[in-house]
Amino acid sequence: MPDQIDDIELRSEEVQEILTQAPNWMIRWGSALFLGLIILLLAISWFLEYPDIIPSQAIITTQVPPQKERAKNTGRFSAILVDDNQEVVKDQPLAIIENTANYQDIYTLKAALDTISLQGESFYFPYTDIPELSLGNIETNYALFVNSYVLYELNREFQPFSNRAIANRTSISQTRNRLENMKAQREINKEEMRLAKIDLDRDQKFLDNGVIAPSEFERTRIGFLQAERNFKSIDAQISQLVEGVSVAQSTAKGTEIDGAREERTLLNGVIQSLNVLKASIKDWELNFALTSKLDGKVSFLNFWSENQTVNAGDVVFTIIPKDGSEYVAKLKTPAQNSGKIKLGQEVIIRLENYPDTEFGTLDGKIEKISVIADEDGMYAIDVSLPDTLITTFDKEIDFQQEMRGTGDIVTEDLRLIERFFYQLRNVFKR
C-alpha cells in the first residue's frame, strides 16, 4: 500500500511537469498565429472604409420657389379676383382687403400714371379725361399732383417769362435803332461844330484886323458854343443809350434764366408729386392688395369668399411657378459634423409620401452651403436634383411643391483604422 502511494505521487509530479511546461512548437505556432491575426485585422481595417451619414430635413421645391402670399392687415375681403388653380401673371392682383378706397379707381389711376413717360424736359398727363375717383388716403397726394401739373401746364402754355423776354428783346432792338440814329446825328453835330469853329477862327482874324465889330464876333462865338453844346448833348444821350442797351440785355438774360428756373422748378415739383403719388399707391397695394410676384398658377389654401375675414399674417394664396424650373431639395442640417459637408457630395433623399421601401430614394448633389447657421443652429443646403424625378427603383415621382422628407448627406469615406486611431487619440487627450 505505501508503495502504491509513492508511485502515484511520483507520477503526479511527472504529469505536473508536463502540464506546466508547454511544448516549444506550440509556443512558436501560437505566437505566429496571433501575429497573423493582428496583421489581418490591421489589413482589413486599412482597406475597409465607409462614409459618415449626416441626417437632415428635406423639402423638395424648384429653383424659383413658390410664392406664399400673406395678408398684411386684418380685415374682410372686399374682392377676390381669381379662382383656385387659375393661371396668373406677374403683378396680377389676386384679392383686395376692405379699405376706404375703391380698388378699381386705384388701378384706373395707376394705369393712367403708367402711361406717363418723360420726354426730355416735359411730359403729358390727361387728368381731364379721368373721371372722379374714390382714392381714400391717396386722395390728398393725387390732388397735390394734379395741382402741380396744372401749374406746370399753365406756365408752359402762357409762358409769362417768354413774353417778358420778347418785350425785352423788342426794347433792346428799339434802343439800338435810337442809338444808331444818335450816332448819325452825332456825326452831323460834329460837322456843324467843325464848321462853327472855322467861322469862329475866321471872325477872330477879322476882329483882330478890325474888319468886323466885336458884337458880330460874339454872335459867331455863340453859334460855335451852341454847336459844341449840341455835340456834347448827343454824346451824353449816346452814352445813356449804350448803358440802356447793356441794362436791357442783362434784364433779358435774367428773365430768360428766371423762366428756365421757374419751368425747372415746376417740372421738379410735378415729378416729385408724381413719385409721392406712386409711392402712396405702392403702400396701398402692400397693405390691402394681394398680388402675384411671378407667373404661375394660384392655389387657395382655404375656401375664401368675399366679406370673409382674414387675419394679418395668414397665408391666403400660394403661387406655383410655371413648369421648366429646375428641381432642388432644401436641406436643414444640424451643426454636428457639418464641417465634413462639401460641395458635390451625394445626398440620399427619402420622401414622406413615397415610402422608400416601395418607391426607392432620390439622389442629388450638394451645390450650395450656407456660411452661417440660423437661429436654431441649422445650416441651409441646396441640393440639385435631376430634371426628371426618377428614384433608385426606376419609378418616376409626380412632383408636388414642398414635398417633405429626409436627406442623408454622404460624406467622404474614412478607413476603419483611421476611426480607431481618432478614438484612441481622444482617449489619451482626456
Say how far apart CA 282 and CA 133 lie, in whole Å. Answer: 17
Q: Which CATH class is domain 91-292?
A: mainly alpha
Say how far apart CA 110 and CA 101 lie, in whole Å. Answer: 13
Say how far apart CA 147 and CA 287 lie, in whole Å. Answer: 27
Strands (E) located in 105-157: none
Burial (0-12, 13-18, 19+ Cβ within 10 Å), 227:
buried
SS3 state of residue 87: strand
Give the per-residue pLDDT at 309. 87
Per-residue pLDDT tens over the stretch 338-388: 888 888 888 989 999 899 888 888 999 989 988 888 888 889 999 998 888
What would the grid cell of residue 231 be?
455835340
Q: Which amino acid type is present at position 318?
A: T
Q: Which amino acid type is present at position 368?
A: K
Q: Strand pairing of 67-70 and 93-97?
A: unpaired
Which element (helix H / strand E) includes 291? strand 289-291
Say how far apart CA 84 and CA 357 lie, in whole Å. Answer: 35
Alpha helices (H) in 209-337, listed in sequence order: 214-288
Backbone angles phi, psi at 252, to 5 degrees: -65, -40
CATH entry 2.40.30.170 includes domain 324-429:
yes
C-alpha distances out from residue 140 to 132, 190, 266, 276, 281, Å: 14, 72, 19, 11, 12
Give the per-residue pLDDT at 167. 64
Backbone angles phi, psi at 135, to 5 degrees: -110, 0
SS3 state of residue 58: strand
Report the 10 Å Cβ neighbour count for 426.
9
Spans of all domains in the chain: 91-292, 324-429
C-alpha distances out from residue 310 to 76, 237, 271, 289, 301, Å: 6, 86, 37, 13, 12
Strand partners, 291: 93
Which element (helix H / strand E) includes 22? none
Give the per-residue pLDDT at 29. 67
Say how far apart CA 190 and CA 326 lie, in whole Å. Answer: 98
Q: What is the dihedral of CA 352, 354, 356, 362, to 10 degrees?
A: -90
Strands (E) located in 63-202: 67-70, 75-80, 87-88, 93-97
Say how far apart CA 403 and CA 354 lie, in whole Å. Answer: 10
DSSP state of 99: -
Per-residue pLDDT tens over the stretch 218-251: 887 888 788 788 878 877 777 777 777 777 666 6
C-alpha distances out from residue 273 to 133, 179, 267, Å: 18, 50, 10
SS3 state of residue 411: strand
What would the grid cell of residue 218 be?
460874339
- Model-wide pTM > 0.75: no
Are 39 and 47 in contact by the 8 Å Cβ rule? The answer is no
Give the per-residue pLDDT at 6. 47
Say how far apart CA 175 and CA 162 lie, in whole Å. Answer: 20
Say how far apart CA 283 and CA 271 lie, in whole Å. Answer: 18
Total number of residues shown for the chain: 430
Pick out the chain residues at pLDDT < 70.
1-32, 34-35, 40-51, 119-122, 158-170, 172, 248-260, 323-325, 413-430
Say how far apart CA 283 and CA 101 lie, in whole Å. Answer: 13
